[in-house]
Structure 1
Amino acid sequence: MIIHRVSRNDPCPCGSKKKYKRCCLENDQMHNIIPTVAFMPGKSGSTKFTEKMVQDLIDTQLNWKQPQYKTTAEHLFAQMTGVYDWKYITEAVFLWHSYVNDTEPVIRKEGAFAAAIEYYIAQEYTHNQITQSHLAEKYDVSSGTISQRFQQVIEYMEVVDYGNRNEIEENNPLARLPITEQDLMQVQQLFEGTSNHAASKIKTASFIDRLMNEPAAANQTKMTSKEEAQACLYDAWKESDIETRTELAKKALALYPNSADAYTILAKASTQVEEALELYLKGMHVAEQELGAASFELNTGHFWGIVSTRPYMRAKIGYAQMCHQLGHMREAIMHYEHMLTLNHSDNQGVRYLLLTAYLSTKQTYKAEQLLQQYKDDDCANMNFNRMLIHFERQGITKQLTSLWKDAAAQNPHVAAYLTGDKKIPRKTPEFMGYGDDSEAIHYVQGHIHLWNLQPDLIKWVTRKLK
């Protein structure tokens, strides 16, 4: 028998056959009641969830945008197996899939996000005694990293109201809809243009019900030209054919000239750097007009969590990267820094671009500050750049040896490319995983010019490999 604290999505213990949140939750909260129920193996609805079902969910039922997202799901599955009921492991997998499907985070260490998802499940359901320190040891990450990733997940769920949007159906646990940015945009629009929060919540709940139960019905209302243009752009992002994607972007601009994502799509398709720069800049400007100054003031710090800001952030990172490529480093750095101010969680991985820019312009003090700001980020980019900075400022020391051991342990493939033992490929891998060869290639391609400025450091690394 397992004693389980009743969750908002569980059947109400009063026997009404309604979900707890739709029955006695409010009354229990008023009287500070925390109900529990006993699950008997073979008699609980939770036993309908099996290991095979969850494994099949990860392998075949869910589409993963990147291999690292699926790898993290498998890691989460392995770590939670034997500790949690399969119902909650299923919930964890769905939560992770929804999160990455919408936010597309950069995965540097799979354990960080996996630990954050488990921590959420532990707090929400039966294992609320599990601590971040315990999970840090279990997943081989720091407590600070878990806290940071957990906060990102919480911010995401606050936007989408995950508890209402994603419910495991007792009779068909695979009948879930993945949350996409398009869904979030539609939900956000329900809150715009009205000061009546209660009325907006009612409209949102109605939309979510239709989205869950009648997916097509959620899109049957007549769209404005702006909404129709944005729908074209979401189709364009999904399109693999460049010509088709470009045509959809042009169609969006014809429908609504201030479609920032259209300029970003056209910029990505351009083969001319200067042309791409102008397109990104145009996208930034129209996005600024659409958002208004108040949005920047109100949402600074968690910008990416507001769906309507993302076209601006996509155009901005594109523009900054083009400036970087053209050697306009001061302007590139200004935009990178602004993006981190707008969005501390850095869903787009701007910190890695900024760190490279700092090192390229000999701003080692700022580079050190950035590394300290993201001190729990344990990836090749951060680890090997720590070595570069330390060597430049202090030379060969015991601390450099310690930094080398950490960097080589995290990714043993980088050093061979730095020393010339392996030839650096011209083609950049489409995806990269934590600690693998693809991560090494990504790092070395963007930093070999900096290492070549430190031949004594390369010789030192070569000796370490012998």
Structure 2
Amino acid sequence: MNRNELCPCGSGKKYKKCCGAHDAISITEVLVNEIEYLQKQFLHFAYYHFGHEIAEDFEILEESMDFENEQEREFFEAIHSIWFALFAELDDGDTVIKKFISAEAGKIKRPKLKHILQSWTSARTIAGKIVSFNDHTLTVEDGFTSEQLEALIFNDSYQVKEGSFFIGILLPFEQKNVFFPSLLELPGLNADLAFSYIEDNSFDYDYDTPQEYLTDYFMEVISELPMVGGLLEVDEMDWPAPIYREIALLFKEKMELFLPSPVIDTGVVLWNHFCQKKQKRIQNPNIYVAALHYLVTTIAPIDRRLTKKELANLYGVSAGSLSSVVTELEHELAEEIAQLNRLVDSSDEQEPAIQLASVIDFPKHKDSQASEPAPGQSTIMTLQGTAEKHGKKTTGRKVSKRNEERARSLIYDAMQTDGKQRYKLAEEALKLNPNCVDAYVILAEKTKSLEEAILLFEKGIKAGETELGKAFFKENTGYFWGLLETRPLMRAKLHYAEALSLLGNVDQAVRQYEELLDLNPMDNQGVRFSLFVAYMDLGEFNKAHALLEQYDDETAQHLYNKLLLELYESGFTARAEMLLKGAKKENKHVIGYLTGKKRLPAYPPEYYGFGDENEAIVYADMHLRLWKKIDGLEMWLKGK
């Protein structure tokens, strides 16, 4: 019978659209069964021959994810094994699928099945929208190319929701496709937000197309996508006046590098609640941004909170005005703050801050369970259950070795570059590796205040400690500088200590200096010189003596410091005379700067040699204020 003729069953439809369609499906279904068996063989082959490589790659991925339970872990492990076998490049440049085809294609007798298997080298990842579902055929649209594709689904219980977002891996099946292991659906996620998320990341990571990024980062994308819909969009919120929205945007911008996203969103939600209750006439937005900054850090368990005075300096506002606005916010938002405080008090999580915004109507996903996919399964799976609850996003995501290397390379380039390009490279490195400590240190250079820089140093230190881990510290304390991976953390701690000292927080600076010397007693960084100054500032002369004895190196700096300590404790003694002779013999140029005969240059020299003028400038620049506290010094030094 011609397939274009009317069907003999009397339905009035063409045969190919009626009974002929069922015949075609039954033939196709036989082929699908064979393909599902082939998929199982493929995975057995992958595990048998490359199980170590698959497990090793999943270990790296697993460290970046916070699985809710074993079922969720198995879900991701199953998806990962399929992605790895289809797309990951092995050491010899081949993929597992190519090796499987080489080994098995010759054993397949059915030409059509053999052709389908060989086409699997063209497998693709896809993120898009569901268009329709008819006669076992699911029509989907690629979110980046708008191409419409058809995939076979042999699950009569599947109910499609047109327009919903999905993500998955497609294997070619003649003129159509099959999902392997299945289509992964996120019906509650705004598709446009999901596409923007993938596109933005592909741009940030310097990919030519979102498709290339999606293929390389498929596992990370399916892990993070469930949170995209929960990210707070300021523009989509109801604001009684434009100025309130502007403050929310400014707050998010200012806080981006300093606080976790959920804590920032908590501040935005609190601000929105305040604006709904009380419409203020605002002349200086910075006061309200500073007040929100202070407010959220009093609620969330942040490692270090800035005082109102520090925040006032940071935002360029008066401490009195800031305090007044904080009091007003606390009064109007008393109920919301009480809810948040109850959550923090009752939480047994490591990071309760991540849950805060959900208590005050922060958008969040509904929970559902995800099950382990079976090879060849034609059901639709949901990723909702894999979302990190209440908008939680792992900031310490374990980064692939490739991204670590790319971030490190960018930092090397940044260190040899000046100006905007230097900071752009650091920002790009941070996107690739959130634990890139040197990136925080570089970005701290462009801050407008020491308070702001300190926040970045703190973040860098925390990232470095997370990256190295507690066991590393326990095993390697005392030998840190000899291990290259520790140096970014050591640099961040030294910058942090110096910034604290400049702000007058000398006690805190001393703790950092002492920790650095515990980690590296060889003191390749010259920490002992800054620590000596700090001990002198605090009047800790016994500790200053012990430090000089520990590092008795007979340099000009060491000898002048011994003299300085003698003058502080005992005055112009015979021993001081002797110490002065020894110090002058090592570097005679220092005296001119201590007596004021010579002025220090605007900027200290970049290098110096032992005994030269540059060494004298470096010493005087660091110690002159200590020497000026000694009454009668100039008279005593005159003529000596």
Q: TM-score, normalised by structure 2?
A: 0.37
Report what 2:412 is aligned to: 234
What letter corresponds to residue 631 of structure 2 in structure 1? P
Report matched runs for 1:406-425 at 5 Å. 406-425=582-601
Residue 247 of structure 1 deviates from its aligned partner by 0.9
Q: Is the Cα–Cα contact under 8 Å of residues 287 and 311 in structure 1 kept in the other structure?
A: yes
Q: Corresponding residue for 1:212?
A: none
Which structure's residues are more often helix, by fraction? 1
Alignment-derived partner of residue 191 in structure 2: none
List per-residue Cα deviations over 1:268-304 (Å, max 9, x = no partner): 3334211111111100000000000111111111101
Matching residue's letter, 2:489: Y
Deviations 1:354-398 (CA, angstroms, capped at 9, x unpaired):
0111111111111010000001x2223221111111112222222
Q: CA deviation at 1:400?
A: 1.1
Structure 1's unaligned 5+ residue stretches are: 1-221
Name the residue aligned to 2:490.
313
Distance in 1 (CA, whole Å) between partners of 2:437 and 2:505 is 23
Q: Does 2:597 match 1:398?
A: no
Query: 1:349: how far off?
Result: 0.7
User: What aligned pairs does 1:360-439 form with structure 2 within 5 A after superposition?
Assistant: 360-375=537-552, 377-439=553-615
Q: 2:486 and 2:401 mapped to 1: Cα distance?
A: 20
Q: In the TM superposition, what is the alpha-carbon distance from 1:223 to its structure 2 partner?
A: 4.9
* Cα shift at 1:431: 1.6
**From 447, 450, 461, the counterpart of 2:626:** 450
Q: Quick one: distance in 2 between partners of 1:326 and 1:343?
A: 25
User: Could you tell me how far 1:313 is from its partner in structure 2?
Assistant: 0.5
What is residue 259 of structure 1 aligned with on the other side? 436
Q: Distance in 2 between matches of 1:223 and 1:358?
A: 42
Is 1:268 aligned to residue 480 of structure 2? no
Letter of the aligned partner of 1:316 in structure 2? K
Alignment of 1:71-220 (within 5 A): none
Correspondence 1:359 to 2:536: yes
Match of 1:345 in 2: 522
1:27 is matched with which residue? none
Separation (CA, whole Å) in 1 of partners of 2:505 and 2:480: 25
Compute the displacement of 1:310 (Å): 0.9
Aligned amino acid, residue 367 of structure 1: A
| 1:293 aligns to 2:470 (yes or no) | yes
| Distance apart, 1:323 and its partner CA | 0.2
> Mean Cα displacement is larger for which, 311-320 or 268-277?
268-277
* Counterpart contact for 1:260–1:287, Cα < 8 Å: yes
CA distance in 1, matches of 2:426, 2:407: 8
Q: Does the 8 Å CA contact 1:391/1:457 hold for their aligned counterparts?
A: no
| Distance in 1, Cα, partners of 2:568 & 2:529 | 19
User: Aligned letter for 2:460?
Assistant: G
Displacement of 1:424 in angstroms is 2.3
| 2:456 partner amino acid | L
* Counterpart for residue 402 of structure 2: 224
Indicate the residue corresponding to 2:461 in structure 1: 284
SS of corresponding position for 1:224: helix
Unaligned runs of 5+ in 2: 1-399
Q: Provide the secondary structure at the position in 2 that maps to 1:432.
A: coil
Alpha-carbon distance in structure 2 between the residues aligned to 1:379 and 1:441: 14
TM-score by length of 1: 0.50
Is 1:462 the equivalent of 2:634?
Answer: no
* Post-superposition CA distance 1:86-133 (Å, at most 9, x none): xxxxxxxxxxxxxxxxxxxxxxxxxxxxxxxxxxxxxxxxxxxxxxxx
Partner of 1:328: 505
Verify the 8 A CA contact 1:451 1:458 in the aligned structure 2.
no
How far apart, in 2, do the equivalents of 1:353 and 1:401 lie?
Answer: 25
Maintained 8 Å contact 1:242/1:269 = no
Q: Does the CA contact (< 8 Å) of 1:386 and 1:403 recur in 2? A: yes
2:402 is matched by which residue type in structure 1? T
Q: d(CA) in 1 for partners of 2:476 and 2:421?
A: 34
Change (3 A) 1:308 1:257: same
Q: Which amino acid aligns with 1:417?
A: Y
Q: Does 2:617 match 1:441? A: yes
State the AA in 1 paired with 2:428. K
The 1-side partners of 2:446 and 2:608 are apart by 22
**What SS does the corresponding residue of 1:455 show, helix, strand or coil?**
coil
Give the number of the structure whose alpha-carbon radius of gyration is greater.
2
> Which structure 2 residues correspond to residues 64-75 of structure 1 after superposition, within 5 A?
none
RMSD: 1.5
> 2-side partners of 1:373 and 1:264: how far apart?
30
Change (3 A) 1:318 1:396: same
Q: How many residues align?
A: 241
Structure 1 residue 242, shift from structure 2 partner: 2.6
